Each structure stands twice: as C-alpha cells, then as structure tokens.
Structure 1
C-alpha cells in the first residue's frame, strides 16, 4: 500500500491552520516599530524585559523569579544542570517525555519512574519509594495533559506531592506547557500557586499556544535559583532570541494570545473526540483515557501487538505513530502515543483506519 499522503500522529505540534499567522505578522511589525534598538541588540540572559514582566504578572510573582529561555526544553536543561549531579536520585513519571529521560540519564542521574493513572502520578507509590530510603533531588512532573499519557494530576495529588516535597526536601519541577490547552473541565491550580515554601520550580512555553517556531519558554522559581541559572545562561549564549521574544510579547500584550488559545482548544477538542471515536470504531480492544486537554492520547494495545513491529507496519500503511517504549525505562511494548494536534479533523478517522490495518497485519504475522 502506498498512500498519497502520510497521516502523522507522531509530532506534538499544531497544524498550520490553527496558527495565527496574521496575528504574528502584525505582532512582528509592532515589535520592530516599538523597540527596534532593544530587539536587535544582544539583550540580557533573563530575556526580553517586557515579556519577562508579562510572564511574572501572569503567574503573580516578582520579575526576579522569571527567566525567559529558548524554548522550554532549554529551560528544562538549565534546571537539570543546576540541580542534578551524577548519582543523584530523580523522580519522573511512568511514562514520561522521552527527552526528559535522555537529558537526566546523560547527567548521570539515577532515574526512578513512578506510575501514572487517570489522576496523574501515584503519590502513594512515591511515598513508599521515599519511605524505602530514596532521597530524590528533584521530581519532574507534567501536571496537565501529560506528555505522553494525556492525564492530569488531580488537585488532591498536587497538594499531597507538595507535602511530600516539603517533608523529604526535594524540588518539584512543574513542567507545564499544556496548561492553557484545556477543552473540558475546570482549570486546576498550579503547584507553583499552591506552594508556600519555595519547593516548586515552574516551566512553560509559548510553543503550544502560539507556535513552535518562536522557541520561547521560561522558568519561574525562587530568586536565588533563577539568578544562578541566569549566570549560566549568560556564559552559555549571552541572551536568548530578542526578536522572537518581542514578537511573543506584542502578541500577548495585544490579547491575541487569548484568541489563539481559544482557537487551539476548539480545534484540538474536536480532534481528540474524533480520535477517541475512531479508536473505538476501528480498534475496539484498544484501551485509553480520553484527555481533557493537551496534545496527546496514550493507547494500550492487546499483548499480541508488539509496537516494535507495529510502527514500521503503520508507516507502510501511511500513518506515523510513536511507540510507548520511547517514554519508559522498561516496558511499553504494547503502547502508543498518538498526537492529535497536527492532524486535521478530516484526517483522523482515515489515520486510525490505516493504523487498524497495520494492527491486523501484525496480528496475522504473529
């Protein structure tokens, strides 16, 4: 089978039709008109000052608690480098973002994965791990519409996790780029807002709400942590991209960000619903939790479907997916991550139909 067009559930990026191109073009013009000297200079390592202030106001913190970075992945890397030394224990979710695993293992961390269920991280399992003597330096948590599992950490578990961090003296890294992409249910308080003891460092980005190409992310945390990271950033790259940050600032200050979020939420809510319906129709023995927001849906397939065989078969049928084992230290041989952000509504059912054909082929081949 040689389909005319590959349908991709592989990449967590918005399709072009939901990116506000006109709004970004207008924001770029305003940025150059308002501050040509500021955005064409090196700037400072903490980011474009007006955007830094906008982020601080959004989160209700002092501006000295914010550093703006070249995407949230760089924010992650800077914090990991600051806190984690070879041999340090680190908690991550099971499953978790594949680049998180890669970065932490490259730093020599001893990574412990704690199970996720429909309400997020299993804090009872984490408590047992702590009681066994593990003393983590850091717990990396994606609380809203988690990548790759799509689940959200409940309000009760957020509070319980903060209490454990305070009791056992570890930092919670709240990696939260999907928080605003909610299309069902009520927004939950961030752990940053619940924290009263400086145990939480929060990260987010404009990748999912504006577009990936701007490469603008940020960290919010205790002033001393941010100051130390800012010095490292100065030595590493002098300053992040002032032009991108100024465009994002103008986009946000004009209120375009709110319209963009509404557009993305509406489109992704429809696509997630269509994806769930298509899975029930074409792969009825697949198990999954429908997300309330975000970009991803995690699928558990029957044990006779090995994703190492399924992924190439799916590609041959014209659909791209990511195997669950990429997000785990072990296991995931029967799991997939499906990103519904880059597929248009009219592609969803056909994409799952192709995936179902690949599943049938793998089962036939044994």
Structure 2
C-alpha cells in the first residue's frame, strides 16, 4: 500500500521553526531572569512589563502611558473592541479581512460595513461613499502592511487620505499592523499613527510574528485615556499579562537580537514568496495574484465560477492545507483562497503547488 504524502500546510500564518532564533531567545531568557527576577517572576500590572512598555513607546515616539502590552495582538484587539464597539455601532472593515476580526466584531454586535480591498489598500472612494450616505462609523479596522489575507499594502496617499477622513468625520482608525517589520522588498511607509496629528488612530502590533508564535506578546498604542480604560479591562480579565514572556522579549529587543532575527526571517520569506509566485505561474497559470512586498500571505483568485470549497477538499485529499476565500468575507470569495508561505520551505512550496495543480485538474479545470 502506498504511503500517504507528507502533509504540507499553506494554512497557518506563522514562521517555521528553522527561522526562529532559538539560541537568541534562550540567551535572552537567561539574561532577563538574571537581571530582573523580581519583575520577571512576579505579578505585574495590567499595562505589561514596564521596560518593554518603555521600549515600545520609544519606537513609536510616544509616552509609556500611551502603550499597553498584552497577551498577543488578538487580546489587544479584543480589549479595544470591548472598549469601543457596542451593538449596532458601525465598523468599516476591509473586504476581505482577517477572519478572527470578523468573528470578534460580530460577537460584539457591530454593524460591519465591508469596503473593497484594492492592490494598494482599501478603496478610499468606497469609504468616502459610505460617509456621503450619512454612515457614521465608530471605527475603521485596517491592516496596512501585507494584509491578512490578501498580502496587499496600503499606499502612502491612501494612508494620508484615511487619516484626514477620520479627523473630519470623527471616527477612529484601528491600525492593525502585526506584519510591519516583515518587509522584504520596496519602501517602508509611515504608520497612520505617525501621520495623525490628533487622537484618531489606535495602533496594534505583535512580537508573535517576528520573534516566535509561542511568545504571545502584542501591544496597543493610543490616546492615554483610552489606554487607561483598556488597562482596567485587562486588570479585570487577568490582573497581569505574562511577565516572563514580556521580560524575555524586552531583553531580546534591547540586546540587538530582535533586529538580527527580523533580517533572518525576511531573507527566508523573500525566498519563499518568490518560490511560491514562480511555482503558481508555472503550474497554475489561470491563478491571479499580486506578488507581496512582505509578510506571510498570498491571495489567489481563480476564474469566476471556480469552486474553492471543492479545491479545499481535493487539496486536503492530497495532503495540502489551504484556507478558503469565503472565510475572510461576509459574502463572496467563492473562487479565491489564501496561501501562507511563512511556515513551509521552498522545496515544500514547490511540491505543495504541484499537488494543488493536480487538485485543480481533478475538478475538471485545465491548469
């Protein structure tokens, strides 16, 4: 009996272990434990490990009081939504967008208004049309860099336009930016947080995407009163986040390991993204996609009428995991799917795309 093919997952947005700086993290842990055992091993406060909070504040040019460090950026998202989104509050989201964001906002009873995502970011004219129709959003959730699931990046003119719209129409931009450090080509763009002159942007990012997934450290940067309000929510939820993890991250950042680790990850991601694009072009010529400038993800659209749900099943039978486009949309996306290249080697990518092409052919589509 033939053995089952080794599984290949394009489903998980996380770096593979071979590009995680395990030795650097071990050294950072040793140094953190020796330098600050009291701060590392004790309960802290809900704002997080203070040396890390100060380091993050310095990176963004704000006061520590504008920062809260959380157990991953999803926890930061959840606190922000709890603080700001009541049932029937209007929230602008990208179409498509991160599936967990949709779930979280729906659980809050938010009135979600999807706006089309273009290859240079959300359609600003679509946002303007909503506002012209009298829609009064509480929040606009945007993933500006290497968007999940599409991999697209919001252009500088659009960032500037959105900040102006938020100020003029009194809504808050939630700049959800966990992939910002993972640019492997092109020009780094300023955050909307840095472009805003007033308090119309709240910013979130994560070390889980750059240090390692298991570290579970994220953060929010925003107006001091809002951060204080979220700190109270955090106190009532868990008293203190993970001081051990945050202490290790603080040491990892301050001793230079963070910058070196990011360069290692970016080199690997660049090779993996290029391998994926080349393999798709060669083996699935009907697939439409935009080569990413960074991050983990590639959004693939097949011709209209293609059944990505059927492909999901056929690929699974061949040991390949993908994510259906419909998972990232309130409606639509039946012909699309997301591929994450961060956790697979170039050899696995080539093999995986070959299996995907075989799965497509099994559905009666010439690939």
Q: CA RMSD in A?
A: 1.1
Q: Which stretches of structure 1, 4 residues or longer, exceed 4 Å deviation after superposition?
A: none
Alpha-carbon distance between aligned partners in 1 of 2:365 and 2:34, rounded to the nearest angstrom: 63
Q: Which residue of 2 aligns with 1:246?
A: 247
Alpha-carbon distance between aligned partners in 2 of 1:3 and 1:72, rounded to the nearest angstrom: 37
Secondary structure at the aligned position of 2:199 is classed as coil
Structure 2 spans left out of the alignment, 5+ residues: none
Q: Which residue of 1 aligns with 2:129?
A: 128
Q: Which residue of 2 aligns with 1:287?
A: 288
Q: Which one is further off, 196-205 or 303-312?
A: 303-312
CA contact (8 A) 2:89 2:111 kept: yes
CA contact (8 A) 1:9 1:340 kept: yes
CA contact (8 A) 1:305 1:363 kept: no
The Cα offsets for residues 320-361 of structure 1, whole Å up to 9 and x where unpaired, read as 100000000000100000000000111111110100111111
Deviation at 1:133, TM superposition (A): 1.1
Q: Which residue of 2 aligns with 1:37?
A: 38
Alignment of 1:247-266 (within 5 A): 247-266=248-267
Q: Which residue of 1 aligns with 2:205?
A: 204
2:142 aligned with 1:138: no
Alpha-carbon distance between aligned partners in 1 of 2:281 and 2:25, rounded to the nearest angstrom: 38
After TM superposition, the score normalised by the length of structure 1 is: 0.98
Secondary structure at the aligned position of 1:192 is classed as helix
Q: Which residue of 2 aligns with 1:12?
A: 13
CA contact (8 A) 2:5 2:318 kept: no
The Cα offsets for residues 195-223 of structure 1, whole Å up to 9 and x where unpaired, read as 10110000000011100101000000000
Alpha-carbon distance between aligned partners in 2 of 1:215 and 1:274, rounded to the nearest angstrom: 29
Deviation at 1:4, TM superposition (A): 2.9
Q: Which residue of 2 aligns with 1:215?
A: 216
Q: Which residue of 2 aligns with 1:71?
A: 72
The Cα offsets for residues 112-140 of structure 1, whole Å up to 9 and x where unpaired, read as 11001111000011101110111110000
CA contact (8 A) 1:305 1:359 kept: no
The Cα offsets for residues 35-59 of structure 1, whole Å up to 9 and x where unpaired, read as 1111111101000000000000011
Deviation at 1:364, TM superposition (A): 6.1
Structure 1 spans left out of the alignment, 5+ residues: none
Alignment of 1:319-330 (within 5 A): 319-330=320-331
After TM superposition, the score normalised by the length of structure 2 is: 0.98
Q: Which one is further off, 207-216 or 304-313?
A: 304-313
Alignment of 1:47-66 (within 5 A): 47-66=48-67
Q: Which residue of 2 aligns with 1:355?
A: 356
Secondary structure at the aligned position of 1:289 is classed as coil
CA contact (8 A) 2:52 2:247 kept: yes
CA contact (8 A) 2:119 2:290 kept: yes
Deviation at 1:305, TM superposition (A): 2.4
2:232 aligned with 1:225: no
Secondary structure at the aligned position of 2:205 is classed as strand
CA contact (8 A) 1:2 1:317 kept: no
Alignment of 1:78-157 (within 5 A): 78-157=79-158
